[in-house]
Amino acid sequence: MADSALIATLTQRLAERILILDGGMGTMLQNAQLSEEDFRGERFSDWPSDLKGNNDLLALTCPDVVARIHRDYLEAGADIIETNTFNSTQLSQADYGMESLVVELNRESARLAREVCDAVAAETGVPRYVAGVLGPTSRTASLSPDVNDPAKRNVTFDELRELL
């Protein structure tokens, strides 16, 4: 379905009823009990730091797991699924030394979500939608990371603005 037609159907469906958004991706990925090797895949097998917990990376290393979760939410009645991009920012990916992958992570996660939505829509005849997600990052400008220094911050507002 063309983008303009998809937007038109979305607008029409929103006028008719409340649309259902999927649930937590991170929780479902935790339930999958993936190993460090799953997060690494072949491409990142020699990465110098631990990657387990970098859920956004799974769009590249375990796309079948992410796609299955998307499909499960759609089959449970969700109209809209969110991209698996909660931490696909330079700031959050810096925790893994993967800042250079941010564009690829966002693109592949969006592509994967759209692919699953299109497949389910083709099977059911009901359009499905993708919402891009940007989480709060792995850093905060409002709380101190050090209980002994309440004024300390591990990121500035300007850094958040530049790195998101």
- How confident is the model over 109-151, as pLDDT tens digits? 999 999 999 999 999 999 999 999 887 677 777 777 788 888 8
**CATH no. for residue 32?**
3.20.20.330
The answer to whether the CB of 106 falls within 8 A of the CB of 90 is no
> Between residues 105 and 1, which one has the greater pLDDT?
105
On whether residue 15 sits in a domain, the answer given is yes
Looking at residue 164, its pLDDT comes to: 62
**Nearest alpha-carbon partner for 93 in 132, 139, 145, 36:** 139
> Between residues 40 and 163, which one has the greater pLDDT?
40
pLDDT digits (tens, 9 = 90+) for 75-116: 999 999 999 999 999 889 999 999 999 999 999 999 999 999
On whether residue 95 sits in a domain, the answer given is yes
On whether residue 119 sits in a domain, the answer given is yes
DSSP three-state, residue 130:
strand
In the chain, the percentage of residues whose pLDDT exceeds 70 is 97
> Between residues 70 and 140, which one has the greater pLDDT?
70
Query: In the predicted model, what is the mean pLDDT of residues 10-18?
Result: 94
In the predicted structure, residue 1 carries a pLDDT above the cut 70:
no
On whether residue 66 sits in a domain, the answer given is yes
Q: In degrees to the nearest 10, what's the CA dihedral of 103, 107, 109, 113?
A: 160
Q: Taking each helix axis as running N to C, give the angle between helix 63-75 and helix 102-124, from 0 to 180 degrees, rounded to the nearest 10.
A: 40
Q: Residue 38 class from Cβ within 10 Å (0-12 exposed, 13-18 middle, 19+ buried)?
A: middle
On whether residue 45 sits in a domain, the answer given is yes
On whether residue 128 sits in a domain, the answer given is yes
On whether residue 25 sits in a domain, the answer given is yes
The answer to whether the CB of 144 falls within 8 A of the CB of 153 is yes
Report how far residue 127's alpha carbon sits from residue 34's, in angstroms, rounded to the nearest whole number. 31
Q: Which domain holds residue 96?
A: 3-139
Fill in the amino acid letter for 39: F
Domains in the chain: how many in total? 1
Looking at residue 151, its pLDDT comes to: 83
In the predicted structure, residue 158 carries a pLDDT above the cut 90:
no
On whether residue 17 sits in a domain, the answer given is yes
